[in-house]
Structure 1
Amino acid sequence: MKINVVGTSGSGKSTLSKHISNALNIPHIEMDYLFWKPNWTESTDEEFNSKLEHALAQESWVLDGNFTRTTPIKWKHVDLVVWVDFSYPRTLLQAFKRALVRATTKVELWEGTGNKESFKKLFTKDSIILWTITNYKKNKQKYQAIMNSDEYAHIRFVRVKSPKEASQFIAALGNSDF
């Protein structure tokens, strides 16, 4: 099974991805881990695409992340795309809480990178909170269009709109032929 979990930052992609990975006992791959290098340096497209292709060469996986420019790679053999589409207030609150906790605890976000959230970063143009505010509506429109597109008619899409629906989806994984 090959699954990509998508949604706006703060929506709960990582949490849901990890639950799916655990429920199906298949590897979890975080796109941010593949993308970010030490000191918040971005991978080039060539580096990123190579890392992604290598990670997706496995028989089964749950991929956590958007990165629209990688769609031809990540959806080449995907079986299922799960769109985490929680409400704007909930998503923004989750993004804010996550950023605040990360800035407070100074936890390294991706092993070996040294990258950590900071209070200073919360109030810059690179703020994940600002990104969520400015991209929530765009992402919603993008994924609605993708789900209705003939180009992706071969992919099964599941849209979860609440934590309750996410829990029901996880519970159904053990009782289905995904």
Structure 2
Amino acid sequence: MSRLVIIGNSGSGKSTLAKALGDAFQLPVHELDLIHWLDGGIRRDQSAAKSMVSDCAGGESWIIEGVFGWLAEMALPRATALVWTDLAWSECHDGLLRRGIRRGMTPGDQHELIDWAGG
């Protein structure tokens, strides 16, 4: 039984690591970005998002990854391991540029994400 939470800054490699581990160990991967955001960049209702994380964390084995600590913390009581991708901002910035625009983002959205992640 493996239940892994991966947290860290945007661009730190959380999704890449989660996918690699999920593939290697045949574990379902749950991305907090997909739970937090609806299509069109609209935030999901917090109670609905929390309910979704609770459902994911109720499974026997899983990987939950993301930047949203308020959602990740819901899975921690059931997690068997926690990974924090603690990289320098310069590496995260480069990671965001390398991955480019995804999930329906616009170039403006990417710039906003980089500004937000840089804090």
TM over 0.5: yes
Quote the Cα distance in structure 2 between the aligned partners of 1:72 and 1:94.
24
Residue matched to 1:131? 116
Aligned pairs for 1:25-174 (under 5 A) are 25-98=26-99, 101-102=100-101, 107=102, 109=103, 116-123=104-111, 127-134=112-119
Residue matched to 1:21? 22
Alpha-carbon displacement from aligned partner over 1:44-75 (angstroms, at most 9, x marks no partner) = 11110111111222100011113222344211
Distance 1:89 1:12, change over 3 A: same
Q: Alpha carbon RMSD of aligned pairs, Å?
A: 1.5
Alpha-carbon displacement from aligned partner over 1:59-118 (angstroms, at most 9, x marks no partner) = 0001111322234421121110111122221111111232xx31xxxx5x2xxxxxx111
What letter matches 2:57 in structure 1? L
Secondary structure of the 2:27 match is coil
Secondary structure of the 2:35 match is helix
Q: Which of structures 1 and 2 has the larger relative contact order (alpha carbons within 8 angstroms, sep 6+)? A: 2
Q: How many residue pairs were aligned?
A: 118
Stretches of structure 1 lacking an aligned partner (at least 5 in a row): 110-115, 135-178
Distance 1:15 1:72, change over 3 A: closer
What letter matches 2:117 in structure 1? T
Q: Is the 8 A contact 2:7 2:69 kept in 1?
A: no
Quote the Cα distance in structure 2 between the aligned partners of 1:71 and 1:26.
17
What letter matches 1:82 in structure 2? V
Quote the Cα distance in structure 1 between the aligned partners of 2:72 and 2:64.
12
Question: Runs ≥4 in structure 1, deviation > 4 angstroms?
Answer: none
Quote the Cα distance in structure 2 between the aligned partners of 1:86 and 1:60.
27
Task: Compute the displacement of 1:38 (Å).
Answer: 2.1
Quote the Cα distance in structure 2 between the aligned partners of 1:91 and 1:82.
16
Residue matched to 1:138? none
Residue matched to 2:10? 9
Percent identity, aligned pairs only? 23
Quote the Cα distance in structure 2 between the aligned partners of 1:122 and 1:13.
17
- Structure with higher Rg: it is 1
